[in-house]
Structure 1
Amino acid sequence: MTSIMTPHPDWYRDAVLYSLDVKTFADGNGDGIGDFVGLRDRLDYLDDLGVTCLWLLPFYPSPWRDNGYDVADYYGIDERLGTMGDFHRFLDDAHDRGMRVLVDMVFNHTSTEHQWFQRARDGDEKYREYYLWTDDPADAPEEDTIFPGEEESVWTYDEAADAYYYHQFYHFQPDLNVSNPDVQAEIERVLQFWTEQGVDGFRVDAATPMIGAKGAAPVSIDEPHVLFKQMKRAVSEVDDETVLLAEADDEPAELRRYFGEGDEFDLLLSFVSNAHLLWALADENADHLAEAFDRLPAYEDIVECGQWANFLRNFDELNLGPLPYEQFQRAIEVIGADHDTRIYGRGVRRRLASILGGDTDRLACATSLCFALPGTPIVVAGDEIGMGDELSLPGRDAVRTPMQWTDDPTAGFSTADPDSFVRPLVDGEYGPEAVNVAAQRADPDSLLARVRAIVETRKACPELSRGQQSVVDTDEQTVFVHRSEWDGTTLLTAHNVGPDPVSVSLDAPDDVATHLLGPGDYSLDSDTLSVELGGYDYCWLRLGQPRTRTA
C-alpha cells in the first residue's frame, strides 16, 4: 500500500463542483458587472441545486485582457467585483450552507502590470530573476505558442528592459521563473495567505506549462514535481483539509505523477476523458469513451492519492487535442463543422447545449454520463439549464456570457442597461427568453430538475470515488455501461448515447437491485440483468446490500 506522507483530505471524493466566473454570474450593485454581493445573493440557488463546492475563476486585480488570468496582484479583490469584506461575507455564507470554495490560482505567469514585472523591467535585479529574458530570441529554440493564430512568438521585446521576455501564453502574460527559490517562496506565501482567509482549496492553472520547458532550457528544478510538493505542503501547514486541483494537460502516461504519493495534487482535470466523452456524445458512439479508460492510468493506481475531476465543458475552448490523431480529425469536422467555431487548431468555442442541439434528453444523458465516471464531477455555470454560446463575441468569450436567471431583457443578471454589461447576453434561440433559471425551476421535467436529481444521486454513490472501476462490454455501440464495486455493493450505470431504443443483458452479481436514477428500466431474472433504454436514456442501479458498517 502506498505510504501517504502529507495529511490527505477526503471531502473532495464525494463532492460536486460548480464552476463560475464572479463577473458574469450575478450583479449585486447594478453596474453591469457580476460581483461577490450578487454571488452571495444567489447562494440559495446553488444550495438548492445541491452542489457542495464552488470553483471561482480569478477575481484578483487584473486588466482583464485574459478574463482575469492576467493577474496584477495575488493578494487582493478586483474592485469591480467588490471588497475583501464582500468576499469574506460570501465565503462565510457559503460555509454556513456546507459549501466549500476553491479559487483559481495562476502561477505560470503574471500580468505585465504586476509590480514584480514592473520592477523587473525598471532594472531591479531581484525581480528581473522572477522572469525569463533573452537579448536575442534567435538564440533560443523554436517553440509554438499556446495560442496559435493570436500570438506569433513566445518572446516579446520590452523597451524599458531592452530585452525580450518569455511568455507561453499572451504577450501581456510574462512567464514566471518558477525555478527561482524566491519565486517559489512567493508562491507559498500566496497560497498560505488565501488558505488563512478560509478558502478550501485551489485550482492551479496551467500546471503542466509551469514545470515544462521555459525559454532556452527546461526549468532548472532537480525534480519538477518538487514544486507541487512544496505547494501541497504549504497549504497543509495552514489547514490539512485544503485541496489542490490541477489543470494538468499532459500525456496520459505522465498524469499519474501529478498525484505524487498523496503529497501533490488531490484532483486532476481529466482532459483525456473530456475529449473522448464529448466525441462519444457527438458521434453517438460509446466506444469512444471506453477508449479513454484504456489510455488513462488505472483507477486503482491513483485512488489512494487522489482522483479525476470530470467535466463536460469549461469556460475555455473544448480541447479535442487529447484524442488520437485520426479521431481528432473526425471530431473537429463534426463538432466544429462551422469553421467559425474552431479555435487554436485544437478546439471548439461552443457550449454543450449548442453541440448537442439543445436537446434536453441528450443534455441530461450527457450530464448523467459525466457524473457516472469515477471521480469528482463538475458543472459549469449555465450548463444546468442548457445555456448556449454567442459566436459574435471574439475567441473564448463566446462561452463566457452572463448567467440567464429570468426571461426579461437583462436576464435577471443585473438592473443595468444590457449595453453596459461586462459581456453581452446570448442572442437568438439560446437567449434568456428561451433558456433561463426561473422557467426551469417551475418545470419538474426541465433540464435543471434532471440535473438536480443527478447531483443528489451522485452524492449518495461513494462507489464512484472509492470502488473498483470497470467498463462492461456490450454488443450495442451506443451503450456505455460502467461498474463500480465497493463495500458489498455494485453500482451499475448504463447510458444510451444514441436516439434508438436498446436493450442490454448483463451478468448480475446479486439478486437485489435498487433503481437510483434515470428514465431507463430494468428486470432481474436469476443471474441476468436486462436494462431497457430509450433514446438518450440512462439508468443507475445499485446491486446487492451494503455491509453493516461499524463505527
Structure 2
Amino acid sequence: MEKKWWKESVVYQIYPRSFKDSNGDGIGDINGIIEKLDYLKELGIDVIWMSPMYESPNDDNGYDISDYQKIMDEFGTMEDYERMVAEIHKRGMKIVMDLVVNHTSDEHNWFVESRKSKDNPYRDYYIWRPGKDGKEPSNWQSYFSGSTWEYDKTTDEYYLHLFSKKQPDLNWENPKVRQEVYDMMTWWLEKDIDGFRMDMINVISKNKDFPDITRKNREGNYQWASKHFVNGPKIHEYLQEMKEKVLSNYDIMTVGEMQEIIPEEAVKYVNSEDGTLNMVFHFQHMRIDARNGNKWDLKPFDLIELKEVMTTWQKELEGKGWNSLYLSNHDQARPVSRFGNDKEYRIESAKMLGTWLHMMQGTPYVYQGEELGMTNVKFPSIEDYHCRETLGMYEDATKNLGKDPEEIMPSIYAKSRDNARTPMQWDDSENAGFTEGTPWIMVNPNYKEINAKQAVNDPNSIFNYYRKLIRLRKDNPIIVYGTYDLILKDDEKIYAYTRTLGNEKLLVVANFTSEKPIFKLPEGFPYKSYQLFIANYDVDEGESIESFVLKPYEVRVYKLDI
C-alpha cells in the first residue's frame, strides 16, 4: 500500500467561534487559537482542520461566505491568519481549510449583482428559474426545512438554495464559476495551507430539469429530492477538472464531505488510480440512531448495524482508497453522550470509543473537546439555541406539524448541532476559561468537572489516554496500514476486530455496554504469543486472551505474533 503523510496523520478540527476568545468579545478568534497551539502539539496532532474563517454574515455560522479571500472581522485579520499558519508550521503541524463552494452567502458580491437583472454578467453564477403555475419551480425541500426555492421580486424569478435562503447555490454548469473557485483555491494554497475539507462537495452538480418529487413520507411531506443532486450528472467531471487545474499541483490533503455516499460510489472519488480526493466523510454510521434516516426521529443505536456499516467501509475501500475515521464534528452530537455513557462511565466510554475508532484503518479525526470527553448540553429554552437546522426543524414541527414543544426537545437535546458548538472547556474559571466576556453561546455547566486544565494534569484522563493512542499510531505501522477483519459478527454487546500486517496482528475488543459480557476468542484463532497493547482499565497481563470478562465500556487491544 502506498504510504502518504495524510494516511499517517491524526487531524484535529477547530470550530473557531467556540475554541478560544482572546479579546473578550465572547467569540473565539485566531489569536486564541495561536495561544492554544502548544496544547494541540502536546496532544500529538499532525493536522488542524479549521472550520470557515472567511468573511460571513453568519446565517449558518460561517458556512455562508460573503468573501472567500477575506478573514471574518470577529476572528481577526489576514495578518493574524498568516501568523497562525506560520506558528502551526513552526510546530511541525499542518493546516487544512474548509472549502464551501456549493453555495455562497446572499451577501456575496456575485449574488448581489446576480439578483439585479436577468442580463447581469453574474446572473448565471447562480441557479435561477421562473415559477411554475404560480408556485416554486419544483417541490424540493431544503436541508434546513421549507422549500429550496426563494422568490426574488426584482426579476420575478426564484433562486435555488439547498440550505438556508441566505445560502444561494452556485451554478457549477457555468465555467466562469468553476474558474473563480479554482483561482480562489490556488490563492489559498499559495498562502501555504496544506489542503481542503470540502463541504457537501457531492451536491454541486444538479439535474437541470428540477423535476417534482411525487412520493410523500409518513408525515405528509414530499420525499427528499437528493437523487437529483447527490453525486449528480457532472460531479466527477467537475472534480477531475479541479484536480487537473489545482489539486495535482500541490502535495496536499483533501477530504470531501459527501451526503448519502455508499462505499462503491466513494471508491470512484478516492481510488488511487484516477480518484480526485484522498478520502470522504460519509454519514452512514451517523444515521444508525435515527429511524428511516430522519435525524430527529430517535432510536437506540444497534451495535450489529454499526458493525455492518463500519466493516463494509473498511473492506470495500481496502487496497482501493482510504477511509476517514470520525465520531464527532461541528455537525454531530458528542459521541460520549451518543454512543457511550456520559454519566457513570463517561471516562471509560470516551476512552473505549476513541480506541475502537483509532485502531481502524483510515485517518482519525478528533473534534475539539472530544479528547476531554465533553458531553451534550440541555439548554433551558429553545431561545438559547443558535443552530439554523435545529431552529428550522423546531419551527416546522410546532407550526406546520402541530407538535408539542415538549415532544420535540428530547430530539434537540440528543441531536442538535449546538451540542458540539458549546465553548471549549479550558479550565474551571468563569465561562470555562473560554472568554472574559459573554460567550456567543452558553457554556456547558459541567465545565467545573470537565476541562483541559484538569485533564492535562491527570495521568489517567481522557486527554492523556488520547495522547497515548496517537503516539501508538505514530510508532506502529500496523495501526495505519494493517488490514481490518471483523470477528464475533453477531455479538450484540462486543465489537471485536483484528488488524494484520505481515507477522503482526492486533486484536481489538470493545464493550459497548454498561454490562459485563464475556469475550471468547473464536476457535482456531491463530497466534503464537500476545501482549497487552493498550486498555482503558487495569488488566492482568497474564490473563488468557481465550476468554475474559469485560468491565463496563472496557476496551482492550492486544498485539499478537502470528
User: Normalised by the shorter chain, which TM-score bucket?
Assistant: 0.7 to 0.9
Q: State which of 480, 505, 517 in structure 1 corresponds to 2:521.
A: 505
**Contact 2:19–2:32 (CA<8 Å) still a contact in 1?**
yes
Matched, 1:231 2:231: no
Q: State which of 455, 460, 465 in structure 2 corresponds to 1:445.
A: 460
Which amino acid is the alignment partner of residue 228 of structure 1? L
Matched, 1:270 2:285: no
Tell me: CA distance 1:248–1:214, structure 2 relative to 1, closer, same or farther (3 Å). farther
Tell me: CA distance 1:262–1:460, structure 2 relative to 1, closer, same or farther (3 Å). farther
What's the CA shift for 1:178? 0.9
Number of the residue aligned with 1:481: 496
Looking at structure 1, the residues matched to 9 and 189 of structure 2 have their Cα atoms a distance apart, in angstroms, of: 19
What's the CA shift for 1:465? 3.7
Looking at structure 1, the residues matched to 206 and 253 of structure 2 have their Cα atoms a distance apart, in angstroms, of: 23
Looking at structure 2, the residues matched to 495 and 221 of structure 1 have their Cα atoms a distance apart, in angstroms, of: 39
Which amino acid is the alignment partner of residue 249 of structure 1? Q
RMSD: 2.7
Which amino acid is the alignment partner of residue 124 of structure 2? E
Please list the CA deviations of residues 289-338 of structure 1 after superposition, one character each: whole Å capped at 9, or x if unmatched. Answer: 22114654734x4544x31211112211x4xxxxxxxxxxxxxxxxxxxx
Tell me: CA distance 1:205–1:373, structure 2 relative to 1, closer, same or farther (3 Å). same
**Contact 2:268–2:275 (CA<8 Å) still a contact in 1?**
no
What percent identity do the matched residue pairs reach? 29
Segments of 5+ residues of structure 2 without an aligned counterpart are 212-227, 292-298, 391-416
Which amino acid is the alignment partner of residue 357 of structure 1? D
Tell me: CA distance 1:104–1:267, structure 2 relative to 1, closer, same or farther (3 Å). same
Q: The residue matched to 2:54 in structure 1 has which SS?
A: coil
Number of the residue aligned with 1:65: 59
Number of the residue aligned with 1:373: 360
Q: The residue matched to 1:312 in structure 2 has which SS?
A: coil
Looking at structure 2, the residues matched to 293 and 210 of structure 1 have their Cα atoms a distance apart, in angstroms, of: 27
Matched, 1:131 2:146: no
TM-score (norm 1): 0.82
Tell me: CA distance 1:278–1:307, structure 2 relative to 1, closer, same or farther (3 Å). farther
Looking at structure 2, the residues matched to 415 and 136 of structure 1 have their Cα atoms a distance apart, in angstroms, of: 50
Matched, 1:544 2:561: yes
Looking at structure 2, the residues matched to 474 and 248 of structure 1 have their Cα atoms a distance apart, in angstroms, of: 27
Q: State which of 382, 387, 391 in structure 1 corresponds to 2:374.
A: 387
Matched, 1:357 2:342: yes
Tell me: CA distance 1:222–1:386, structure 2 relative to 1, closer, same or farther (3 Å). closer
Matched, 1:402 2:397: no
Matched, 1:257 2:242: no
What's the CA shift for 1:231? 2.2
Looking at structure 1, the residues matched to 448 and 543 of structure 2 have their Cα atoms a distance apart, in angstroms, of: 45
Tell me: CA distance 1:277–1:229, structure 2 relative to 1, closer, same or farther (3 Å). farther
Which amino acid is the alignment partner of residue 180 of structure 1? N
**Contact 1:195–1:238 (CA<8 Å) still a contact in 2?**
no
Q: State which of 131, 142, 150 in structure 1 corresponds to 2:139.
A: 142
**Contact 1:157–1:164 (CA<8 Å) still a contact in 2?**
yes
Number of the residue aligned with 1:244: 254
What's the CA shift for 1:488? 3.1
Looking at structure 1, the residues matched to 181 and 529 of structure 2 have their Cα atoms a distance apart, in angstroms, of: 52
Matched, 1:198 2:198: no
Number of the residue aligned with 2:15: 21
Looking at structure 2, the residues matched to 537 and 271 of structure 1 have their Cα atoms a distance apart, in angstroms, of: 26
Tell me: CA distance 1:237–1:498, structure 2 relative to 1, closer, same or farther (3 Å). closer
Number of the residue aligned with 1:332: none
Number of the residue aligned with 1:103: 97
Please list the CA deviations of residues 450-491 of structure 1 after superposition, one character each: whole Å capped at 9, or x if unmatched. Answer: 222222223334334423221112674311111121233222
**Contact 1:270–1:308 (CA<8 Å) still a contact in 2?**
no
Tell me: CA distance 1:275–1:464, structure 2 relative to 1, closer, same or farther (3 Å). farther
What's the CA shift for 1:389? 3.3
Q: State which of 79, 89, 109 in structure 2 corresponds to 1:85.
A: 79
Matched, 1:163 2:157: yes
What's the CA shift for 1:236? 3.2
Looking at structure 2, the residues matched to 214 and 367 of structure 1 have their Cα atoms a distance apart, in angstroms, of: 43
Number of the residue aligned with 1:342: none
**Contact 2:205–2:234 (CA<8 Å) still a contact in 1?**
no
Matched, 1:424 2:411: no
Which amino acid is the alignment partner of residue 397 of structure 1? D
Looking at structure 1, the residues matched to 466 and 265 of structure 2 have their Cα atoms a distance apart, in angstroms, of: 33
Please list the CA deviations of residues 10-56 of structure 1 after superposition, one character each: whole Å capped at 9, or x if unmatched. Answer: 11112111111112111122322211111011001001111111111
Q: The residue matched to 1:230 in structure 2 has which SS?
A: helix
After alignment, is 306-315 or 108-117 more displaced? 306-315
Which amino acid is the alignment partner of residue 515 of structure 1? L
Looking at structure 1, the residues matched to 496 and 526 of structure 2 have their Cα atoms a distance apart, in angstroms, of: 15
Number of the residue aligned with 2:534: 517
What's the CA shift for 1:426? 1.8
Q: The residue matched to 2:443 in structure 1 has which SS?
A: coil
Please list the CA deviations of residues 504-550 of structure 1 after superposition, one character each: whole Å capped at 9, or x if unmatched. Answer: 2244433132322113556687xx744553221111222228xxxxx
Tell me: CA distance 1:224–1:360, structure 2 relative to 1, closer, same or farther (3 Å). same
What's the CA shift for 1:284? 7.8
Matched, 1:74 2:68: yes
Number of the residue aligned with 1:344: none
Looking at structure 2, the residues matched to 99 and 14 of structure 1 have their Cα atoms a distance apart, in angstroms, of: 13
Which amino acid is the alignment partner of residue 335 of structure 2? L
**Contact 2:313–2:323 (CA<8 Å) still a contact in 1?**
no
**Contact 1:374–1:465 (CA<8 Å) still a contact in 2?**
yes
Which amino acid is the alignment partner of residue 84 of structure 2? F
Q: The residue matched to 1:226 in structure 2 has which SS?
A: helix
Tell me: CA distance 1:444–1:285, structure 2 relative to 1, closer, same or farther (3 Å). farther
Looking at structure 2, the residues matched to 108 and 462 of structure 1 have their Cα atoms a distance apart, in angstroms, of: 37
Please list the CA deviations of residues 70-100 of structure 1 after superposition, one character each: whole Å capped at 9, or x if unmatched. Answer: 0001111111111111111111111121211
**Contact 2:269–2:275 (CA<8 Å) still a contact in 1?**
no
Which amino acid is the alignment partner of residue 334 of structure 2? R
After alignment, is 196-205 or 31-40 more displaced? 31-40
Looking at structure 2, the residues matched to 290 and 275 of structure 1 have their Cα atoms a distance apart, in angstroms, of: 13
**Contact 1:232–1:244 (CA<8 Å) still a contact in 2?**
no
**How many corresponding residue pairs?**
491
Which amino acid is the alignment partner of residue 98 of structure 1? G
Looking at structure 2, the residues matched to 214 and 39 of structure 1 have their Cα atoms a distance apart, in angstroms, of: 42
Looking at structure 1, the residues matched to 10 and 168 of structure 2 have their Cα atoms a distance apart, in angstroms, of: 34
**Contact 1:155–1:164 (CA<8 Å) still a contact in 2?**
yes
Looking at structure 2, the residues matched to 209 and 221 of structure 1 have their Cα atoms a distance apart, in angstroms, of: 7
Tell me: CA distance 1:408–1:113, structure 2 relative to 1, closer, same or farther (3 Å). same
Tell me: CA distance 1:222–1:446, structure 2 relative to 1, closer, same or farther (3 Å). closer
